[in-house]
Amino acid sequence: MFVVPPYLLAHLASAEDPRFEAAATAARHALETDPGIRQGRLSQHPSAVAPELEHPTAATQSEPYRRIFDAKNSTELPGVLVRSDGGDTAPGDIAVTEAWDGLGATHTLLLSAVGWASVDGNNARLDATVHYGNRYDNAFWDGSRMVFGDGDGEVFGRFTASLSVIGHELAHGVIETTAGLAYQGQSGALAESIADAIGAMVEQHTLRHTADEASWIIGAELFTDLVQGEGLRNMLNPGTAYDDDVIGKDPQPAHMTDFVVTDADNGGVHLNSGIPNRAFALLSRDLGGFSWERAGVIWFDALTSGLPKTATFTRFATSTVTAAAARFGSGSREQVAVESAWQSVGVL
């Protein structure tokens, strides 16, 4: 789904500062077009299900199969093929290079951490389209590929610049091919949170950052210098990612006492994801070392444990406790840490 939440775009769309005229126009355009893209996706798949993915002949090989397309600032997908395993016809295009590297980094994290090849575990081809739309302020997973806008240049830069964003969006493909969480309410917020966790781990794995060293910021590379903010979301401290006159203040809650009940944003999927986000970051830091070695494995085990599509926070939390006990032992430090993390955010 979309990495930039609609409430941020709505705030930007109402900006009256002449310095951000292009950004406000771009945000209004995204608000007009994104719901149609999202609704088209959900009407085909009422609850997220396995997308239509291509598998090369040697689909079990460990190396990723990647293709990058260029929409050339149109909204026609997939665009013109510019890079594949057979060569690169756009060697000077940084967006193509970043998308290529990001797809590979996500594949590497999933395979090395949990033995999961590509988004479906069977090494499906990873496709991405860059230069989508004119100053398009978002990136999204459309069920079969990643799609990246170039940003408006005033508030947002190009979306290929962020590894955590690439990992986040590809993670939606993983979620669709495993639990198939319904993109509504708590299950939708879980989908957003798990995608954030995978996105953060892709970045941390590439940089070889431990849980203590990591920033836990999703989309740290997106904002221009004119914005007072670290990124789209702060997993460790939800609600603190940005505080800016143009885009507003980060509204994410960090605890169940502040859970937001709303009909907007598919029942607050981008808002309430802050609660499980904090649980994952706290667990990773409590266990120490690299987040993907224990916390990430527990989350993935829970994701693939037969969750109902409408799983609540409590249901997922219980699954992670069970997963920790199964992998590390009943009463293990890992199981106790998982319980403590969820208690800290008011879920258990």
- Catalytic residues, by residue number, are 169, 270
Coil/strand/helix, residue 233: strand
Residue 57: is it exposed, middle or buried by C-beta count within 10 angstroms (0-12/13-18/19+)? exposed
Neighbours of 94 (CB within 10 A): 12
Q: Are the C-beta atoms of residues 316 and 298 closer than 8 Å to each other?
A: no
**What does 150-197 look like in DSSP terms, one character per residue?**
---SSSB--GGG-HHHHHHHHHHHHHHHTT---SSHHHHHHHHHHHHH
Q: What's the token pair of residue 86?
A: 């057979």
Q: How far is CA 117 from CA 145, 210, 259, in A?
A: 16, 23, 35
Task: Give the distance, in angstroms, between the CA of residue 108 and the centroid of all CA atoms in the same chain.
Answer: 16
For 317-327, letters b (16+ CB in 10 Å) and e give bbbbbbbbbee
Q: Are the C-beta atoms of residues 65 and 127 closer than 8 Å to each other?
A: no
Task: Give the distance, in angstroms, between the CA of residue 247 and the centroid of all CA atoms in the same chain.
Answer: 20
Count CA atoms closer than 13 A to 160's CA, side-chain side. 25
Q: Are the C-beta atoms of residues 335 and 320 closer than 8 Å to each other?
A: no
For 116-149, letters b (16+ CB in 10 Å) and e give bbbbbbebbbbbbbbbbbebbbbbbbbbbbbbbb
Report which DSSP code applies to 18: G
